[in-house]
Amino acid sequence: MVNRLINTTAPHATVLIRLLVGHVFFSEGVQKFLFPDTLGVGRFTAIGIPAPHILAPFVGVVEITCGLLIVIGILTRLAAIPLLVDITVAILTTKLPILTNKGFWAMAHEARTDFAMLLGLLFLLTVGAGAFSIDHWLAVRTKDNANG
């Protein structure tokens, strides 16, 4: 089970996607604490997220933790799952209203980062962390230990 989770045959260049996706989520998580009125509790309140005083810090911690795991390349597939939930909720609560109120092109402009993160996470969930990762190192080590 663990080997399935960490095994990856993705190319070395996958590190570029990991750095991009992990950095964006890590940065956004930190900013929820640095700028709570505009990006944390205040933003969650404004868009109607329930229990914003609990959920905004929770989401911030998830983004920081999972973003770092993705950058480092450890438990990458597992870290992608809560971030997929996170970005899906973000799209539904912030971009769908733009689509219905301002139209497709206004939404497309505002959602470009969200969609890039969604696709990047789906990529990492599918292929894993790639050769330049702790996941790959652990998978190789686990396989070597199993073989002898």
Domain parsing of the chain, residue ranges? 2-147
pLDDT recorded at residue 148: 57
d(CA 80, CA 145): 27
pLDDT recorded at residue 94: 95
pLDDT recorded at residue 142: 77
142 with 21: CB under 8 angstroms? Answer: no
- To the nearest whole number, what is the mean pLDDT of the chain? 94
Task: Please report, as a single letter, which amino acid is at residue 30.
Answer: V
Q: What is the pLDDT of residues 44-100, one digit of tens each?
A: 999 999 999 999 999 999 999 999 999 999 999 999 999 999 999 999 999 999 999
pTM of the model: 0.92
pLDDT recorded at residue 11: 92
